[in-house]
Amino acid sequence: MRTTTRTARGVPLAVLLLFVFFLATASAAASAEGTIQLYQTVDPSQIYVAGMGQSPETAGVTLVVQGVGATGERFPVDCMLVLDSSATAELAEAKLFALDFVDRLGPSDRVGVVSFAGTARIVVPLGASKGEAKTAIGGLAAGDKSALGTALELARRELAQMSRPEATLLIVLLADGQSNVGSDPRVEGEIAGGTGIRITCIGVGTLVNRSLLEGLAGMTGGVFAPRPSESALQLAIEHAFVGVAASEVVVEKRIPAGLAWVGSTPSASHVRVEQHGTTTARWALGEVRLGQEVRIEIRLRATESGILLTDEGSTATYKDFRGMEQRIDVAAARLNVVMPNRAPEAGFDLEPAAPTTADPMEFRDASHDADGDETVVGWVWTFGDGATSDEKNPVHRFDKSGTYTITLVVIDDRGLASKPIEGRVTVGNAPPTAGFAILDAGTLTAVAQPRIGVEVVLDASASYDLDGRIVAYEWDFESDGVIDVATDSPDVPWTFIGPLDYDVTLHVTDDQGGKAALQRTIVAVTSVRANRSIETCLPDDRTIPGAVVTVTLALRANTTLNGLAVSETLPAGWAFRSVETDGATLRQSGTTMEWLFVEKFTGTGADSQREIRYTLTAPTAAPKADSEPVSIRGAVSSSSPRLLQTIIGDDRITVEKYLAVPVVISRWNAETSAIDLCLRELITFDQIQYAVSLWLSGAAVPYTNNAKVDLATLNDLIAYWLTGSSVHDPLP
């Protein structure tokens, strides 16, 4: 519990300091006034905005009203005794009463004496000893007239000048109330009442002006007794001794907007909520005695956060111990209202949804904090495989296939952690990756191309599995779907025997059953290169019945060959004639021709090359169809190294039943009057002359489907001739 000082949300510091200074000044003034002090405490000093589920939601503000101003049970008395020594008053009665009164005063009280008859004078000034006062009182002599007003004035002035601030101011008037000299006693009475001086009037003598004395007592808050009796003395003393520090105390508190009224003890006589949210509450506390503490406990709750000041404009009004009306401000209490922190809610997305062990997974935070944006400051990821991360958006790859539970807890900027949220992901097996190389069987170094007939090692150790190991290697050397070799070892010896191109497929299987395949086209290097070229003298290896076709077999050994055999299977019905055997022995067996080289070939130089040439004459019988293709198949073979290899190159001849007129004309040998397919594709003037003769005679062009040279055809032929264009090309 502590006393709060005023402060205000949003008020600049300079203003705040000024205000604190003002509070201190006001507090000092209240103390000088001297009769009550206000203390205000707040407990607790920090609460949460109400309705947010966070405790405490209310704060108690305790206002303590304390009676102060003097030590002891009553205030000291500064008293002027005013004695009427005029002819009409009973001076002896008055002296007696005055002496008794002085005797009853306490040590802290002070007394002075004024006597009046025709004139008034201060017999004993305020502050003299009681003995002096009593002696002076005893020595008073009677006079004639009554300067009552003047005496009151003297007493009032003496009190005004000489009294103590903490003392009750009192004039005890012992008089009959007759006044015929000097100032008006009623006026003096009013002045005294206005400065906190009470006048106690005690009638002495036989003709007491009761109305005047009662009036003086009434207008100053004093008491009146018609006779200086014992009871009158008692009354005067009781009245002189004041223990009430403040009376008619009214506290009015203002509670600013943002704070709401809950209740108070004691209950307020009046509670009102203003339109702008300010709450005003009032308590009428009555009297507060010296040393008494009156507590007002109120309970407030907050509707908004911030540092809130209570009691701006709050006041306490009262009448002080002298009966003077006073007003003091109620010091502000400071209340820190906090918006309660709510726990953040964790959330996340992940991608891909169906990962494999090869995929780095991206986890994206999707957490939310109800207290605002950017307030989540901590992330605790556990991935279920022992790995953790404190990144916001971590990337994680699972090494093993399986189902994992990922947990995320987020922490906000006030250290509050969310409930953990879980997500599950099933991670599939990453398939292996197939790879292989071809190694020389002797040196085990990589070779780009295997040689036909020479053993190599196919090495699949370039294959790998990210999340396990490869357990099976299967080779399909022709990619025909038939596994040629299956092994658990990556190395396989193999000899390619021909043809040249292989689509080799390697299938690998990992320990979790994942499969991968790699197909590579392997172009083997031939041990011998055998190429067939067919020359028919017409494009696309076309020819006509009865025409001669030249076939050339170019052989080139790329390595040492100990003997080489060449065989060609020719189309039936075609007449074979050998043109060049290049040293081979030729044997005919039906439609198969066999050449045998009984010699050693070297891989380079002149000994590496041979050329076989032969002609084929197409059957003279017209083909059944307009175009009749025939094939030539051949192979080369050797026993050392052992190889059997298809002869590549041209392998098809198409026999055409008819040729086009320009083709016939361009191949027409005018001198022999016969077709010669190997003439140039260009028409000569001689051939134009032949075409003109055909045009003129209307005869059919030979080797055509009974075609005639008409004017348009002749035009075409002349154009071919004049432009020097090939008859196989469109006319320019």
Partner 1 sequence: MNKIQRVWVAAAAIVIAVSWMATAAWKADFTPSTYNPGVGEAVSFAVCASCLSSETYTYRWDWNGDGVVDLETRDPVATHAYATAGYYEAELVIVAGTGLRDTCRKGILVGAVPAFAVRDVLAQDDGTLLVVVTVRTVDAIPGGLGFEERVPQGWQVSLEETAGTMLSGIESQSRTVYAQWAAVDAGAEMVFTYRLSMYAGYAASAMQLSGELRGYVGGVRFVATICGATRLPS
Pairing relation of β-strands 168-175 and 197-203?
parallel
Determine the Cα angle at 491 with ends 488 and 497, to 5°. Answer: 120
| b/e map 57-69, b = 16+ CB within 10 Å | bbbbbbbbbbbbb
| b/e map 255-294, b = 16+ CB within 10 Å | bbebbbbeebeeebeebeeeeeebbbbebebebbbbebeb
Closest to partner 1 by CB, 173 or 664: 664
What is the amino acid identity at position 15?
V
Residue 32: partners with Cβ closer than 8 Å, 6 or more residues away:
165
Residue 107: partners with Cβ closer than 8 Å, 6 or more residues away:
none
Alpha carbon distance 640, 647 (integer Å) = 18
> In the complex, what is the shortest distance from the CB of residue 727 to partner 1, in angstroms, rounded to a whole number?
17
Which strands form 501-510's sheet, in the order they lie side by side?
A: 485-487, 470-476, 501-510, 515-523
Closest to partner 1 by CB, 528 or 661: 661
Residues 506 and 486: beta-carbon distance below 8 Å? no
User: How many residues interact with partner 1 (rule CB under 8 A)?
Assistant: 17
Closest to partner 1 by CB, 111 or 688: 688
Closest to partner 1 by CB, 283 or 695: 695
Count of Cβ atoms closer than 10 Å to residue 607 Cβ: 14
293 lies in the site for partner 1, by CB under 8 A: no
Closest to partner 1 by CB, 466 or 692: 692
Q: What's the full length of the chain, in residues?
A: 732
Closest CA to 150 of 175, 117, 172: 117
Closest to partner 1 by CB, 113 or 688: 688
> In the complex, what is the shortest distance from the CB of residue 541 to partner 1, in angstroms, rounded to a whole number?
30
> In the complex, what is the shortest distance from the CB of residue 683 to partner 1, in angstroms, rounded to a whole number?
12
DSSP 8-state class, residue 611: E
> In the complex, what is the shortest distance from the CB of residue 591 to partner 1, in angstroms, rounded to a whole number?
39
Q: How far apart are the first and last CA of the chain?
A: 114
SS3 97: helix
Binding mask 377-396 for partner 1 (x = CB under 8 A): --------------------
Region 661-720 residues binding partner 1, contact defined as CB under 8 A = 670-671, 673, 685-686, 688-690, 692-693, 695-697, 699, 718
> In the complex, what is the shortest distance from the CB of residue 730 to partner 1, in angstroms, rounded to a whole number?
21
Bridge-partner residues for 409, per DSSP? 380
> In the complex, what is the shortest distance from the CB of residue 696 to partner 1, in angstroms, rounded to a whole number?
5
Dihedral, CA of residue 161, residue 164, residue 167 and residue 172, to nearest 10:
-30
Closest to partner 1 by CB, 482 or 711: 711
> How is 544-584 classified by DSSP, letter by letter?
-TT-EEEEEEEEEESS-EEEEEEEEEPPTTPEEEEEE-TT-
> In the complex, what is the shortest distance from the CB of residue 726 to partner 1, in angstroms, rounded to a whole number?
15
Closest CA to 688 of 707, 715, 712, 706: 715
Closest to partner 1 by CB, 370 or 722: 722
Q: Phi and psi (nearest 5°) for 247? A: -130, 165
Alpha carbon distance 567, 577 (integer Å) = 15
CA count, 13 A, side-chain hemisphere, 469: 5
The rounded Cα 578 to chain-centroid distance in angstroms is 89
Closest to partner 1 by CB, 111 or 717: 717
Pairing relation of β-strands 361-365 and 395-396?
antiparallel
> In the complex, what is the shortest distance from the CB of residue 678 to partner 1, in angstroms, rounded to a whole number?
20
Closest CA to 259 of 273, 244, 246: 273
> In the complex, what is the shortest distance from the CB of residue 704 to partner 1, in angstroms, rounded to a whole number?
15
Choose, by CB under 8 A, the member of 53, 131, 590, 724 that binds partner 1: 724
Residues 494 and 460: beta-carbon distance below 8 Å? no
Residues 185 and 212: beta-carbon distance below 8 Å? yes
Closest to partner 1 by CB, 324 or 722: 722
Closest to partner 1 by CB, 387 or 718: 718
Alpha carbon distance 99, 81 (integer Å) = 10
> In the complex, what is the shortest distance from the CB of residue 664 to partner 1, in angstroms, rounded to a whole number?
15
The rounded Cα 467 to chain-centroid distance in angstroms is 34
Alpha carbon distance 458, 485 (integer Å) = 11
> In the complex, what is the shortest distance from the CB of residue 697 to partner 1, in angstroms, rounded to a whole number?
6
Closest to partner 1 by CB, 502 or 668: 668
> In the complex, what is the shortest distance from the CB of residue 548 to partner 1, in angstroms, rounded to a whole number?
23
> In the complex, what is the shortest distance from the CB of residue 731 to partner 1, in angstroms, rounded to a whole number?
17
> In the complex, what is the shortest distance from the CB of residue 665 to partner 1, in angstroms, rounded to a whole number?
13
Alpha carbon distance 706, 658 (integer Å) = 9
Region 613-672 residues binding partner 1, contact defined as CB under 8 A = 670-671
Closest to partner 1 by CB, 179 or 687: 687
Closest to partner 1 by CB, 131 or 724: 724
Closest to partner 1 by CB, 487 or 689: 689
Binding mask 16-45 for partner 1 (x = CB under 8 A): ------------------------------
Alpha carbon distance 652, 500 (integer Å) = 20
> In the complex, what is the shortest distance from the CB of residue 685 to partner 1, in angstroms, rounded to a whole number?
5
- Contact residues for partner 1 (CB under 8 A)? 670-671, 673, 685-686, 688-690, 692-693, 695-697, 699, 718, 722, 724
